[in-house]
Each structure stands twice: as C-alpha cells, then as structure tokens.
Amino acid sequence: MRERSTWCLAAMVVGVVGPGALAQWTFTNLHPVGATESAAMGVGAAGGTVRVVGYAAVGANYHAALWGTTATSFVDLHPVTTAGPNSVAYATDGVQQVGVVFTSSPIGAASIWTGTATSWQNVTPVLPFGTAGVIYGVAANVQVGATTTGGTSLSRQASSWSGIGGVLNRGGTALLATDGASHVGYSGGQGFPIPSAVNAGLWMGSNFAATSLHPSGMHSSSAAGVSGTQQVGWYQASQFSDSRRACLWTGTGASKVDLHPSIAVRSEATGVSAGVQVGSVYVTDPANPFGTVSRAAAWSGTAASFVNLHDVLPPTYATSVASGVWSGGGMTYVSGSAWNNTTSRTEAVLWVFTADQACDSIDFNGDGLFPDTQDIADFLTVFGGGVCAGQQTSEPPCNVDIDFNNDGLFPDTEDIGALIRVFGGGACP
C-alpha cells in the first residue's frame, strides 16, 4: 500500500469545508439493537481492519463495547466473571481494547481486552492498601492511564503498562493517550477542598521523560491525544469561566496553535491521527440564546480548517461530540456520539471521510506496455500470493502494491474491479 503523506491528508480535510466536499463525509449509527444508550469513545486499526470501542447500556448498566464499522458488528466486552455491573472501553489500537471495569462501585479495575469478554485482564497493580485503576490509551502494547491508591482521588498517579506489568507514578496525575512512543495527559487537579489547576504534559519514550505543554500565562490545560509530533487538548485562561479552547501542540507549551473556531463559545480537542485533529465545539443553542449545544468537530492544524461534523448527521440529532480518530490510506474514521431527539437517547456514531482516490498506474508489471492484459494477469497472480513474470525474470521489476485503489484495504476484490475499470478507460472509484 502506498501511504498518503500527512500533508496530503491534511490538505484533503481542509477541503471538506463547503457543501460539495462535505459529501465526502458519511456517518454510520453504531447503536446496537436492544441498548438504551451507547457511545463510541475510540477508534483504531491494524492490518487494514478498523475497530471502534466505547460502551452500550444494557438495562441499567454500562457494558464495554467493541464494533467494526457497523452496528451489527457489536461485541459486548463486559466480563461475566466480575461482580461489578459497569464497564467502559476508552481506546483501541486495532488489536487491544482498554478501559475500566468496575469490580465494586466505585472501585475500577484497569482493563485490557483482545476482542472478547472472556479475554478480559485486570491489570491494576495490587498494593497492600488497595488500588483502583483505569486505562485511557493504547498503542503498540503500551497502555497508559491512572491509578488511585488508598481509595481517594487525592492520590491519583499517572501510570503505564506493557501488557500486564503496571508502573505507577510517571510524574503526572493521569496519562490520557499514547502512540507507543509519546504519551500525553496532565499533572495537578488534586487538593481539598479546591483542586489545583491542571497542566498539560508530554512524556517521551520508554523512560517517560517529561515536558510541559502548559501555555505560559494560562490557568489550566490538558492534553488528550497524540500522534507523532502532534499533541492535542485544551487550555483555559481563567479559573472563573468555562472558557476552554481546543489547541494543538508540537512538543512544547510555546508551540500552541489555537484551534478554537469563531462560532464557538467553548471547544476542546480529544484526538489526533496523521495530521487530523478531532473534538467538540460548543455553540449557542438555536432554541435557547442562553444555552449551548455541542458539535463534533474536525481540524487539520488551524482554526480556519474547522469542519462541523454535526452537519453530516440527520436533523433528528440535536447534539454531537467526537472522541477519537484514526487516519490512513486516504480514509479518516472519527468515533463519537450524538443525542437523537426521535429515540430520546445518546447513540454511538462513526464518521468516515473518504478522500478523492487516485488509482495506481495500470502498468502494474512495469514493462512499459499498457493497456496490456499481462498487467491484469500479473496483478491477479500477486493478489493471490504469487509473483509476476517480471519478478521471475528480474526484468522489468514488478509492482507488489495490490492496494490499487489506495483505499487502505488489501487484499480486497474492489482493487481488482478498480484495475479493470481503469484498464477500460473508466474512473478509479
């Protein structure tokens, strides 16, 4: 597969501002049959397969949930072996799902799943005086979150795991996201009766070397997403107003880029992937000038690139939030939830952006002859796991990229269809 560059993907997301380009966004209602409430908290992919996590209310209880990209793919992750009634999955890297299982209210267990309820692992460190835990992020078998010792939020510590080995006290209060090499979260927020301000932080590498992302002169900040050199979250200038503003960093507090759009009263960014940032903005309620409503949002590095994802939803939805994002192969998947006025419930939703696709060259075997039926024959050979004539004779070299339509999915029979269409003079998609 030929990966599109971060710059190109960002440019495509900028292009969705406007009615025509907005048509490149679609939405899927993931709400499972029989649930009274649901929300999609995170999204990730591995091997070309996209996975979404969150929760679905079964009766009066929340159950950690796993989906593919359809409502019918729903898997209930709530472990039957626990006495606790509730669980939530916050993030996935496409292989593992992470979150919390409440083994006894309000004590939560830091939790890892690999696709089924029976795969659940409680990875909360065991200490003599009792510990609660939660995992908020996962990538490349690194999990990050927080543990609380002694049964009080005043002793919350940023924590990490590698499979099942938990490490406390990473120098902060909570880690909210990781890309495997970089980890973000916040410090502070503890104290009684008035908690301290929180400060966004970045922790790097296996030794979790800390760097502050807190913007100078601001009251509070927190980082909630990380991808490569980019971190996202929010900052707040004053403790006396709910004035959070979504922002983007690239490694330091001074690098802050304000993502807050002009229409918003408040905003925050919750996820980032391959140059695409997502979160929520709060705008004046059209039905109540003294109230606000939330709108799921996407950006590509600037406030001007703001895309109102709520506009993709049917008019029955009154509010929406975006929680997570994964981008690759010309596709962007955004997990979130929206309040449905018709059903009177919060429902898990998935937004999908499909970039204008450009197919590969129809000279698949690189012999300079096209259109040439040998290209189709060689493509089918490689598609089936073999090698084409060019590789057997070493001249000319043969293309081994079978993701012909560059949609990030392979092996995929749609690549064969696209090859045949382009071979006959048709369009790629």
Q: What is the mean pLDDT of each run of 10 residues along the chain (429 residues)?
A: 29 31 86 97 95 94 97 96 85 97 79 96 76 94 88 74 82 95 94 83 94 96 97 92 90 97 96 96 91 95 94 97 93 96 98 81 76 84 80 61 75 82 75
Question: How far apart, in Å, do the first and last CA atoms of the chain sit?
Answer: 16
Alpha helices in 36-193 (DSSP H): none
The two beta strands, 174-178 and 182-188, are: antiparallel
User: What six digits make up the tokens of 183?
Assistant: 């980890």
* pLDDT of amino acid 300: 92
Q: What is the three-class DSSP state of 279? A: strand
Residues 6 or more apart whose CB falls under 8 angstroms from that of 376 comprise 364, 419, 420, 423
* pLDDT of amino acid 194: 75
* pLDDT of amino acid 9: 31
**Do residues 375 and 390 touch, judged by C-beta distance below 8 A?**
no
* pLDDT of amino acid 201: 97
User: What six digits make up the tokens of 335?
Assistant: 């997990």
* pLDDT of amino acid 21: 57
* Rounded Cα distance, 148 and 124, in Å: 10
DSSP 335-355: EEEEEETTTTEEEEEEEEEEP
* pLDDT of amino acid 371: 73
User: What six digits make up the tokens of 242?
Assistant: 């709910």
Closest CA to 334 of 4, 1, 24, 15: 24
* pLDDT of amino acid 100: 96
